[in-house]
């Protein structure tokens, strides 16, 4: 292994969720203003993902007060507190730059359902415990007494 590859591997973050273009994310970014720092949330649609390793970046687009705003984030940057996956989108392109020209409902992305993603969600969720109810024993006793009474008149 190359020395640079070893340094890069040590800098990669493990807490980043699996996402791709078309997905809607909430990116929590630490912003430093003067002496104070706060966490700012940027929620939008992933329109591209490029690069690999430590240099990997992704672009998130949102509409703020009727104006399209795009922001490019490095995936493994320490200023990113966390990334939340809001919903998965179904698209057929790796770069969704065509969304810049679309307005309103035309810019909507269908939600991705089923497939291997659904299996991964179920694998991560805790199993629910199933409680079985037993039938009361009183019913069986009543049936036996009915059979005994029907046999007595025949004898």
92 φ/ψ sector (left φ>0, alpha ψ -120 to 50, else beta): alpha
For 18-49, write each residue's pLDDT tens digit. 999 999 999 999 999 999 999 999 999 999 99
Confidence grade of residue 3 (pLDDT, cut at 50, 70, 90): confident
Where along the chain do its domains lie?
3-124
For 130-146, write each residue's pLDDT tens digit. 555 565 555 555 555 55
For 59-99, write each residue's pLDDT tens digit. 999 999 989 999 999 999 999 999 999 999 898 989 999 88
Alpha carbons 56 and 49: distance in angstroms, whole number: 7
Q: What is the DSSP string of 43-82?
A: EEEEEEEE--GGG-EEEEEEEETTEEEEEEEETT-TTEEE
Q: Is residue 128's pLDDT more than 50?
A: no
Question: In terms of CATH architecture, what is 3-124?
Answer: Roll (2.30)
Q: Check residue 146 and give its pLDDT.
A: 54
Side-chain-side CA neighbours of 87 within 13 Å: the count stands at 11
Judge contact between 45 and 112, C-beta under 8 A: no
């Amino acid at each position: 292994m190359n020395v640079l590859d070893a340094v890069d591997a040590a800098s990669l973050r493990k807490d980043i969720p699996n996402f791709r273009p078309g997905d809607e994310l909430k990116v929590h970014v630490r912003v430093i203003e003067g002496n104070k720092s706060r966490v700012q949330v940027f929620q939008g649609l992933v329109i591209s993902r490029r690069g690999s390793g430590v240099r990997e970046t992704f672009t998130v687009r949102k509409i703020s007060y009727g104006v399209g705003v795009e922001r490019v984030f490095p995936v493994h940057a320490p200023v990113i507190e966390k990334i939340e996956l809001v919903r998965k989108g179904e698209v057929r392109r790796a770069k969704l730059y065509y969304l810049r020209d679309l307005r309103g409902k035309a810019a909507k992305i269908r939600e991705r359902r089923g497939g291997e993603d659904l299996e991964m969600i179920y694998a991560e969720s805790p199993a629910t415990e199933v409680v079985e109810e037993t039938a009361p024993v009183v019913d069986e006793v009543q049936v036996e007494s009915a059979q005994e009474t029907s046999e007595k008149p025949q004898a």
